[in-house]
Structure 1
Amino acid sequence: MSMALSLPRGPHPGPGLDRLQSGGLTDAYLKVLFFTLPMTSFLALPFVQGTTPANLLLLLLLFPLSGPLLLGLSGYGRLVAGLLPFVLGLAVLFVASRYSLLYASQGLGGLSLTNPRFILPLTMTANVTQSIYLIVGLTLLFLLSRHYDRAWDGAIFAGAWFLLAYGFADWAAQTFAGLNVDLLSNRTFEVGRYEMPGSLRQTLPIAGLPMLRFKSFTGEPSMYCLTALCYLALAIARDRRWLAGALVLSILLSFSATGYLGLIAFAAFFVRRAPFAWVASALGLFIGGLAVVIWVDGDALWQSIDHLFLSKLAAESHSGSARLTSFLRHLEAWWGSPLTVLVGYGFGTARSTDFLSTLLVNLGLIGTLAVFALFGRLLLRARRCSAAVLPAGLVAVFILMLVAVPEFAYLPPWLLAGIALRESGHRTA
Structure 2
Amino acid sequence: MNNKYSIADKYFILWAFFIPISSWVIDPTIKGSLISYLLAFLSPLIIICFQKNIAKKYFLDMIEIILVLLLFALISQLANAIYNISLYGTLLVNPGDFDNKIFRNSLITQNMYLIPVILTFLYVKYLYKPSWDKWIIYGGLVFVLYGFYKWLGFLITGADIDFLTNRTFGDSDTVLYQYQGIMLAGMSLQRFQSLTGEPSMFAFTMLPYFIFAIHRKANNIIIIIMGLSILLSVSSTAYLGLVIYVVYMTLISKKKKNFFYLIIGLIVSCLILYMIFSEYIDVIMDMVIFNKMDSVSGMTRSNDFWGDINYFMELDIMHSLFGIGFGYIRSSNLFTTLLVNTGIIGVLSFSYFYLKDFSLKAQNFIKQGNNSIILVLFVISMVAVPEFSYLSFWIFLAISKNNNIRQY
Q: Distance in 2 between matches of 1:396 and 1:123?
A: 34
Q: Which residues in structure 2 correspond to 1:101-180 (within 5 Å)?
A: 101-102=80-81, 107-116=86-95, 120-180=100-160
Matching of residue 89 in structure 1 with residue 61 in structure 2: no
Aligned to 2:269, the other structure's residue is in SS state helix
Query: Is the contact made by 2:21 and 2:196 (CA closer than 8 Å) also made in structure 1?
Result: yes
Summarize deviations over 1:162-207 as a string: whole Å, max 9, x none. Answer: 111110111111133212111101111125xx44432322112222
Paired position in structure 1 for 2:9? 27
How much does 1:355 deviate?
0.6
How much does 1:234 deviate?
0.7
Query: Is the contact made by 1:382 and 1:421 (CA closer than 8 Å) also made in structure 2?
Result: no
Alpha-carbon spacing, 1:287–1:380, altered in 2? closer, same or farther (3 Å): closer
Summarize deviations over 1:248-280 as a string: whole Å, max 9, x none. Answer: 111111110110111122233444546255444
Q: Distance in 2 between matches of 1:383 and 1:291?
A: 38
Matching of residue 183 in structure 1 with residue 183 in structure 2: no
Matching of residue 292 in structure 1 with residue 276 in structure 2: yes
Matching of residue 251 in structure 1 with residue 230 in structure 2: yes
How much does 1:156 deviate?
1.2
How much does 1:70 deviate?
4.3
Q: Which residues in structure 2 correspond to 1:308-327 (within 5 Å)?
A: 308-312=288-292, 315-327=293-305
Query: Is the contact made by 1:385 and 1:420 (CA closer than 8 Å) also made in structure 2?
Result: no
1:282 partner letter: L
Paired position in structure 2 for 1:378? 357
How much does 1:89 deviate?
1.3
How much does 1:284 deviate?
3.4
Alpha-carbon spacing, 1:121–1:70, altered in 2? closer, same or farther (3 Å): farther
Paired position in structure 1 for 2:266? 282
Matching of residue 260 in structure 1 with residue 260 in structure 2: no
Q: Distance in 2 between matches of 1:328 and 1:104?
A: 23
Aligned residue-pair number: 398
Paired position in structure 1 for 2:310? 332
Paired position in structure 1 for 2:388? 408
Summarize deviations over 1:318-354 as a string: whole Å, max 9, x none. Answer: 1111111111222233233213212111111111000
Query: Is the contact made by 1:381 and 1:421 (CA closer than 8 Å) also made in structure 2?
Result: no
Q: Distance in 2 between matches of 1:110 and 1:195?
A: 26
Summarize deviations over 1:356-380 as a string: whole Å, max 9, x none. Answer: 0001011011111111222232325
2:269 partner letter: L
Identify the match of residue 40 of structure 1 among 6, 9, 22: 22
Identify the match of residue 51 of structure 2 among 62, 68, 71: 71
Structure 2: gaps spanning 5 or more residues = none
Query: Is the contact made by 1:307 and 1:317 (CA closer than 8 Å) also made in structure 2?
Result: no
Aligned to 1:81, the other structure's residue is in SS state helix
Q: Distance in 1 between matches of 2:245 and 2:377?
A: 10
Q: Distance in 1 between matches of 2:139 and 2:153?
A: 21
2:299 partner letter: S
Paired position in structure 2 for 1:51? 33
1:316 partner letter: D
Paired position in structure 2 for 1:425? 406
1:288 partner letter: I
How much does 1:292 deviate?
1.0
Aligned to 1:308, the other structure's residue is in SS state helix
Paired position in structure 1 for 2:198? 220
Query: Is the contact made by 1:98 and 1:345 (CA closer than 8 Å) also made in structure 2?
Result: yes
Structure 1: gaps spanning 5 or more residues = 1-10, 13-20
The farther-off stretch of 205-214 and 302-311 is: 302-311
Summarize deviations over 1:230-255 as a string: whole Å, max 9, x none. Answer: 10111011112222211211111111
Q: Distance in 2 between matches of 1:93 and 1:209?
A: 51
1:413 partner letter: F
Alpha-carbon spacing, 1:426–1:53, altered in 2? closer, same or farther (3 Å): farther
Alpha-carbon spacing, 1:385–1:110, altered in 2? closer, same or farther (3 Å): farther
Alpha-carbon spacing, 1:126–1:69, altered in 2? closer, same or farther (3 Å): farther
Aligned to 2:189, the other structure's residue is in SS state strand
Q: Distance in 2 between matches of 1:67 and 1:124?
A: 33
Alpha-carbon spacing, 1:390–1:359, altered in 2? closer, same or farther (3 Å): same
How much does 1:159 deviate?
1.1
Q: Which residues in structure 2 correspond to 1:378-397 (within 5 Å)?
A: 378-380=357-359, 383=362, 386-387=365-366, 388-397=368-377
Query: Is the contact made by 1:35 and 1:157 (CA closer than 8 Å) also made in structure 2?
Result: no
How much does 1:154 deviate?
2.9
Identity, in percent, stands at 26
Query: Is the contact made by 2:120 and 2:394 (CA closer than 8 Å) also made in structure 1?
Result: yes
Identify the match of residue 176 of structure 2 among 182, 198, 217: 198
How much does 1:24 deviate?
4.6
Q: Distance in 2 between matches of 1:145 and 1:24?
A: 16
The farther-off stretch of 319-328 and 133-142 is: 133-142
